[in-house]
Amino acid sequence: MDSHKESWFTYIPGYDRLNDYFLNSTTWGSHDYPDMVAQHIYGAIFVILFLALGAFATRRTYKNGPVPASRFGLSAVFDTLLGVAAGLCRDIIGGDEWKRYFPLIATLGLFILFSNLIGLIPGFVPPTDNLDTTMVCGVIVFLYYNFHGLRKNGMHHITHMANPVGAAWGWILAPLLFPIELVSHLARPLSLALRLRGNMVGDHAVLVIFSGMLPLFLPMPFLLMGTLVCVIQAFVFCVLSCVYISLAVAHDDHGDEAEAH
């Protein structure tokens, strides 16, 4: 099968070797477009390198302290985005520990946002229109909030799924509630992944179709709409992640009262 030259990533040295690996491996050999898998990997690496360079450049501007940027530039962009992420953590998670969870929310938010946005640039493939990429992001959130739930609440983080009331009589409904809560928790990373991937695939498919019809003027409204979708999807992912963390680390006062009685 010939490689489909659909992005600038196909011209990076080593791309053909990676593509051949997916084409000939037992896992990916039946994939219809193995080159698209390689393009998404290169796309994710490109976004990570861009964010690393942006973080390095921004950090240099703060060598004398966290002084806001005096003019619009890369520092101002990162300053604004990190401010939004910090606001979400502070408002949704709250407490004195929201700063503990801020790095992950900010990192995922920046990665998803710029992964979405590069799909609006001709010749680039967004990593987030691949289910593997979005599923990894969802699984990271799932493992992260469960880890901190166990860290802060111990086994109560698990028993709460069987007995959310915390009273002794609540264990009567445990055989019914625990499977429902378990399925609900396991569905969270899948819902995060499918929501993000589905919106990105639909958004960029519409843009490509109308760009092919009239490349100069017709795609402009869809380009603006696509930019809005990219921002909203990154925002929604961060909001839901903050909500899951908040629910996991919340202290159950009802359970304590029941135990005290």
Is residue 117 a part of any domain in this protein? Answer: yes
Asked if residue 1 belongs to a domain, the reply is no
Q: 60 versus 120: which is more confidently predicted?
A: 120
Tell me, yes or no, whether 2 lies in a domain: no
pLDDT tens digits along 151-208 = 988 888 787 777 776 667 768 877 888 888 889 889 999 999 999 998 888 877 777 7
Residue 142 lies inside a defined structural domain of this protein = yes
For position 251, what pLDDT does the model report?
Answer: 62
Taking 80 as the threshold, does the pLDDT of residue 213 lie above it?
A: no
pLDDT at res. 89: 93
Quick one: 248 exposed, middle or buried, by C-beta within 10 A (0-12, 13-18, 19+)? buried
Rounded CA gap, 236 and 88, in Å? 11
Side chain identity at residue 169, one-letter code:
W
User: Which range, of 125-139, 200-214, 246-260, averages the lowest pLDDT?
Assistant: 246-260
What is the percentage of the chain residues whose pLDDT exceeds 90?
A: 30
Residue 54 covered by a domain: yes
Residue 177 lies in a domain: yes
CA dist 238 and 218 (Å) reads 32
Q: Give pLDDT tens digits for 59-91.
A: 766 555 555 556 666 777 888 888 899 999 999
Number of domains in the chain: 1
**Enclosing domain of residue 60:** 8-260
110 within a domain of the structure (yes/no) = yes
Lowest mean pLDDT among 116-120, 196-200, 217-221: 217-221
Give pLDDT, residue 189: 94
CB 207 within 8 A of CB 226: yes
The CA distances from residue 127 to 48, 152, 187, 248, in Å, are 11, 34, 22, 29
21 within some domain: yes
Which element (helix H / strand E) includes 185?
helix 174-213
Confidence at 241, pLDDT banded by 50, 70, 90? very high
